Amino acid sequence: MKNHDFINDNIGKDVFITGRGDLGMDRELRRLVSRKSKLKIVKLTRGGMAYLTDGVKCYSVPPRNVREYSEIEIIKEG
């Protein structure tokens, strides 16, 4: 499954973002990455970015940085 398909198929689901690439350079996003904050997918933007929300603010991130929140349990166990 391609990243864009994953975003479109999981709109409204809980996800977290990873720090791959330059995403960790943004101070606000670095906080979300380090805490593995739970976010919801809102949509895939025209520019191909994943549009996410934490209920208060919205963030645009590359789809390759978005992972299902259920993967956190796998990471903790492994």
Per-residue pLDDT, 23: 82
Per-residue pLDDT, 60: 95
**Nearest-5° Cα angle at 63, 10 to 43:** 45
| pLDDT single digits (tens) 53-71 | 999 999 999 999 999 988 7
- Which domains does the chain possess? 3-77 (2.30.30)
Looking up tokens 């789809």, which residue turns up?
63
pTM, entire model = 0.86
Per-position DSSP letters for 10-53, written without gaps between them: TTT-EEEE--TGGGGGSHHHHHHHHHT--EEEEEE-TTS-EEEE
Q: Which residues of the chain have pLDDT under 70?
A: 73-78
Per-residue pLDDT, 35: 92
**Closest-CA residue to 5 (of 48, 35, 34, 38):** 48
Per-residue pLDDT, 7: 94
